[in-house]
Structure 1
């Protein structure tokens, strides 16, 4: 894609997803399929597949999972130069547990291992790196979601910095992405935070279940 085309920058957490090859309790599963996950990272790949010049701002661990994630971005034509590599914190992941139902369908339960991850350590400093700040200043659109501020106090501060910054003509896109498990014990705080981002965004994505859960 030519450098003169509009740039979309997605800011948020990347995860590795491990999905069992068979529907069974995790203790009985021997084989898992690995893939990239994370709302903003999936959005970046979708935008790139539509021919839009796209970049991701985030953090991964200095581990095999982190290298897999950044390689996946590059494979799909997404700029990964603003994905920081943390020498200590690991790359976050989730494991999906598949349970068969009597009618032949399958239920899925997510088990997240993201506490203390490299992405959870996102902060305003992440946005201030030369790579990230240059991309954001050039962007026609910046996309993020309600997952980022739920990860940690520093990640929420990064989200706030993104919304507080001068837009300089670019659009700010926000996907509500309500995750009650991430806001457990502080649901009212989460709803207030997400409502604030919704009011300040130029473009908002929200499913009906998320609208009912957050806005009533």
Structure 2
């Protein structure tokens, strides 16, 4: 029995060390000052009219890219308020940043805005163009300020301010052949859409302010 207890404690100790190492790897990020989960409100571009208030389900994720470069992050709206899931390149630091460019052609696609059409193509090299909202976006002004906000329970927390412009227009898709190994029936030829290009319509620009604070992880601070 004593041997079993010793083995059990050794297992727990080893598991704890391994868990700590995993935590260190997760947070070993060159964009740590940006990264986190944020509760947020949505305002008009003057930060006056409130469109969407705090809600537990409405959260914003900011995290590093696979390249783990400084000032290069993903921003994702988990509740699809916009919706938004896009890569951004910033000038500045987490306390004061903005997109390196506002030019549509030099921005990354919003992945949720270029998802394939619902209808399937019936042949190769077919084309379809659809109007899409929020194809790309840029940050006009951003600030993540340490301990400058307050949670619902009164605790100090990092505040978030982002002024974002969203660009809309149309997206073109071209059909491609589905590889044999991915077909529903290997004997039946199958096709699917592939993103081709995006066209910008500057009359559709929308600008908003995202205002909120970092999620602390404590239940009393959640909305």
Q: Whose radius of gyration is greater, 1 or 2?
A: 2
Q: TM-score range by the shorter chain?
A: under 0.3
More strand by share: 2
TM-score, scaled to structure 1: 0.21
TM-score, scaled to structure 2: 0.20
